[in-house]
Structure 1
Amino acid sequence: MPTVLFAAPLLSESASRMVQAIGSLPGVRLGVVTQEPAEQAGEATRQAMHAHWRVDDVCNPEQLRWGVEGLTRQLGRPDALFGAYEQLQVPLAEERERLGLPGISSEAARNFRDKARMKRVLRAAGLPCARHGLAGSFAEAHAFADAVGYPLVVKPPEGAGSVATFRANDARELDAALHAAPPARDRPVLLEEFVVGDEHSLETISVGGRALWHSLTHYEPNPLEVLRQPWIQWCVVLPREVDDPAYDDIRAVGADALRALGMTTGLSHMEWFRRRDGTVAIGEVGARPPGAQITTLVSRATDTDFVRTWAELMVFGTFTPPERKYAAGIAYLRGQGDRAGRVRGVHGLDRLSDATKRLATDWQLPTVGAAPRPTYEGDGWVLVRHPETAAVRAALKEIVETVRVELA
């Protein structure tokens, strides 16, 4: 009967799904460390947990250790310790090493977490990625810009989900981005060449350091453009043709990148670009499940619960490749109007064609009266699937052109 410990800052909708998936595995005794009381979770999530430990900051290594030790006294020595939150990967790896548990090493976790270090590792392995540099001052940032040219991407070295990420088209916009998060010697910013091309993701299941399965998506348009234009309703498309020879190059590059960074067993999420000349470039790689509802897209495309598949991988080290039966896609609904206002209404749902409505499998509509969300995932979403990728693209196009979230 394996004892499994899972850590997350909050028992959010996504984290709760993971807790329920892990707790449903046969024979598993599950302990959970979070920053909020277990009483705030739903009934199904509470039922999945055998024990819970609350801390003030789960990303603090000392508090994480306190939570692990507290759960160990209740449940016994753990057999597995993991979480999905990007900022937790290094503390979790350090704690696994202290306990002698399986999982990626702390050195590998730092390779994935520190984006400047990541790119040094990738470039040393001869893998394609954007030119980059760390700047501890305004002068160093402008010197990098003079050497590389504009546009540039400005972001924290340990960021996640495009948070605090800016595109600078000239020196004025670079200064504006730097003023938003002033660089310092002990808190530098990461500057990158802006890669011109189409952006995608590559999800990979690895077992024992070998890439065994992959999936991929198309971002339409790129998330950084979505952040710059908060009115854009964008889409993520998961094509059915993931084994098409057109993707041979990124599959090979992705597998090489994971080996260089130190992936062992787990699910990884890579953001990558197809340049205008057809070549590929790696953006970032996370040693964790993807966000943006991509696990839900994979679940619908394969008629499986992909979160449970990931849980089985992390607990038992086993993986059965699911069959790709459908293409799937998600349209993100984003508020139009006064960003300082509230959601007044959602318009256009009744004008969607019956054909598009029949393809919808999941949706989360904006709540009237809610404040607009600042993230690229927007205020709501609609997920569709169909055996043909073209039909999914057509449905998503109709949704983003027809549905409007009114802010006032």
Structure 2
Amino acid sequence: MSDQRRKIPVLLVDRIGYSFYRDRGGRAFLPEDRYSVRLVTSLDNVGEATGKELESVIAVDVYDDRALADAVHHQAGFKGLGADRLVAITERLLLRAAELREELGLPGQTVREALLFRDKVRMKEHLSAHGIRVPEFAPFDEATALDLLSRTGAVVAKPRLGSGARDIFVLRSRSEIASFTAEQGDRLAEFEVEEFIEGELFHVDSVVQDSKVLAAVAARYIDETTSYTRLRPCRDVAVAPGPRLDALLEFNESVLAAHPGFTGVTHHEMFVRDGEIIFCEIGARAGGGGVIAGFLSRTGVNLDEAVIQAQVEGTVPVPTTPADHLTGFTVIYADAGVLQQPLTPPDESWVLECQVLARPGDRLTRPENCNDAVAIVSVRGDSEDEVIQRLDQVGRHMTPMVSPGN
């Protein structure tokens, strides 16, 4: 009798392109000696679908619910053999993946569990019940928004299932609330309203096993996550050791304790106002921008690989204690037009990673969310000040030159 293990059939739902499921050296996160991958990918990324581990590939519009469901059901029963797991790592696909798991009877994160990391009302209801300080909030309606405004001075309206820092509205008057209500019309049920927190925004990115944090790195947004609306870079710097870092990590652990049994990766955002930490939101995914490069540099773990391993095996890679050096990143945006010159980072050893997302001759559109960047550069340094100085050097070196297109 052969002792060769049966390859595990994994159904992977992808939006970002299959090349992202490998490390810098080309090692597959789902190696062909252990897994057979049935891929459902987006139409514009199907050219990246190469690898011996791939058993079957279907390309569809992954945000077309019917098309995605048809493709997933086909791949789930490919050649008459059921898939063992269904994997997704992109934020906008996590809830849909949970729905499809339940339809197919596959193990993994359920719809109820996914909603606690996707629906901004459900996540705050859950955490508030566990004693976590959250902003005052409610599903959006005009009367509720006006009442909250009268007590707090400003409110925020944002999509309950939003991502990419898109459609976030700070409303500071009765007339602004009335205008928002009229403009959004039939979409109002998609929004929540919450008190506006005037403070600094931080995030903690964690690798978690059974709700226990194995490693976490905290960072501060130097710029607003909506800076893309002004075509300004969004910079981010890791928090140095000290009381502030300790407080952020402790708050992060208290939030994750409210999710018993959770295994995977979290991207947790929180406000700090006058020394008080207030929950913003949490996702069961890797952070965007340069979060993955920074976390890898300091702990040796690729967060996307950790998400996949958690969903397939129920475990995460064991990280090292975060290294002493700090990291940061800048996300660079450009206006609509044709990019004229290549975007190249400074030729410095402290540049960890440069993701060039646009090349000369590309016709660009104005960014619609924080992911619509032309480049993302991650750096390292020995202090927060040094990291920020290097980010600014990158910004001066990589100013996009765009001319109007015909």
1:236 and 2:228 are equivalent in the alignment: no
Q: By how many angstroms is 1:164 displaced?
A: 1.3
Question: Any residues of structure 2 matched to 1:166-177 within 5 Å, and which?
Answer: 166-177=169-180
**Are the structure 2 counterparts of residues 84 and 189 from structure 1 closer, same or farther at C-alpha, using a change threshold of 3 Å?**
same
Q: Residue 298 of structure 1 aligns to which amino acid in structure 2?
A: F
Tell me, in whole angstroms, the C-alpha distance in 2 between the residues paired with 1:59 and 1:88. 11
Q: By how many angstroms is 1:25 displaced?
A: 6.6
Tell me, in whole angstroms, the C-alpha distance in 1 between the residues paired with 2:146 and 2:163. 24
Question: Any residues of structure 2 matched to 1:210-289 within 5 Å, and which?
Answer: 210-224=212-226, 226-228=227-229, 230-239=230-239, 241=241, 244-261=242-259, 264-275=262-273, 277-289=274-286
Tell me, in whole angstroms, the C-alpha distance in 1 between the residues paired with 2:19 and 2:185. 33
Tell me, in whole angstroms, the C-alpha distance in 1 between the residues paired with 2:28 and 2:159. 32
Q: By how many angstroms is 1:234 displaced?
A: 2.4
Task: Look up the match of 2:4.
Answer: none
Tell me, in whole angstroms, the C-alpha distance in 2 between the residues paired with 1:149 and 1:117. 24
Task: Look up the match of 2:145.
Answer: 141
Task: Look up the match of 1:11.
Answer: 17
Contact map agreement 1:269 1:290 (CA 8 A) in 2: yes
Task: Look up the match of 2:166.
Answer: 163
Contact map agreement 2:140 2:192 (CA 8 A) in 1: yes
Secondary structure in 1 matching 2:185 = coil
Q: By how many angstroms is 1:323 displaced?
A: 4.1
Task: Look up the match of 1:102.
Answer: 107
1:87 and 2:92 are equivalent in the alignment: yes
Task: Look up the match of 1:117.
Answer: 122
Root-mean-square deviation (Å): 3.2
**Are the structure 2 counterparts of residues 14 and 273 from structure 1 closer, same or farther at C-alpha, using a change threshold of 3 Å?**
farther
Q: By how many angstroms is 1:26 displaced?
A: 4.5
**Are the structure 2 counterparts of residues 361 and 251 from structure 1 closer, same or farther at C-alpha, using a change threshold of 3 Å?**
closer
Runs of 4+ in 1 over 6 A off after TM superposition: 15-20
Secondary structure in 2 matching 1:205 = strand
Q: Residue 290 of structure 1 aligns to which amino acid in structure 2?
A: G
Q: Residue 217 of structure 1 aligns to which amino acid in structure 2?
A: A
Q: Residue 184 of structure 2 aligns to which amino acid in structure 1?
A: A
Q: By how many angstroms is 1:5 displaced?
A: 1.6
Structure 2 unpaired stretches of 5+: 1-6
1:323-375 C-alpha deviation (Å, 9 max, x unpaired): 4333221122233xxx444434469x79x6x7xx3311322344234314333
Secondary structure in 1 matching 2:38 = strand
Q: Residue 369 of structure 2 aligns to which amino acid in structure 1?
A: T
Tell me, in whole angstroms, the C-alpha distance in 2 between the residues paired with 1:329 and 1:95. 36
1:112-141 C-alpha deviation (Å, 9 max, x unpaired): 2211121111112110111112224x4553
The counterpart of 2:157, out of the listed 132, 154, 158, is: 154
Tell me, in whole angstroms, the C-alpha distance in 2 between the residues paired with 1:109 and 1:305. 22
1:128 and 2:128 are equivalent in the alignment: no
Tell me, in whole angstroms, the C-alpha distance in 2 between the residues paired with 1:46 and 1:303. 24
Contact map agreement 1:54 1:67 (CA 8 A) in 2: no
Q: Residue 339 of structure 2 aligns to which amino acid in structure 1?
A: V
TM-score by length of 1: 0.82
**Are the structure 2 counterparts of residues 249 and 48 from structure 1 closer, same or farther at C-alpha, using a change threshold of 3 Å?**
same
Structure 1 unpaired stretches of 5+: none
Tell me, in whole angstroms, the C-alpha distance in 1 between the residues paired with 2:27 and 2:152. 47
**Are the structure 2 counterparts of residues 274 and 401 from structure 1 closer, same or farther at C-alpha, using a change threshold of 3 Å?**
farther
Secondary structure in 2 matching 1:315 = helix
Q: Larger % of helix: which?
A: 1
Q: Residue 367 of structure 2 aligns to which amino acid in structure 1?
A: R
1:52-72 C-alpha deviation (Å, 9 max, x unpaired): 234444562784365144343
Task: Look up the match of 2:191.
Answer: 189
TM-score by length of 2: 0.83
**Are the structure 2 counterparts of residues 401 and 70 from structure 1 closer, same or farther at C-alpha, using a change threshold of 3 Å?**
closer
Identity rate, percent: 21
Secondary structure in 2 matching 1:267 = strand
The counterpart of 2:368, out of the listed 351, 368, 374, is: 374
Contact map agreement 1:5 1:68 (CA 8 A) in 2: no
Q: Residue 31 of structure 2 aligns to which amino acid in structure 1?
A: S
Contact map agreement 2:120 2:281 (CA 8 A) in 1: yes
Tell me, in whole angstroms, the C-alpha distance in 2 between the residues paired with 1:295 and 1:94. 27
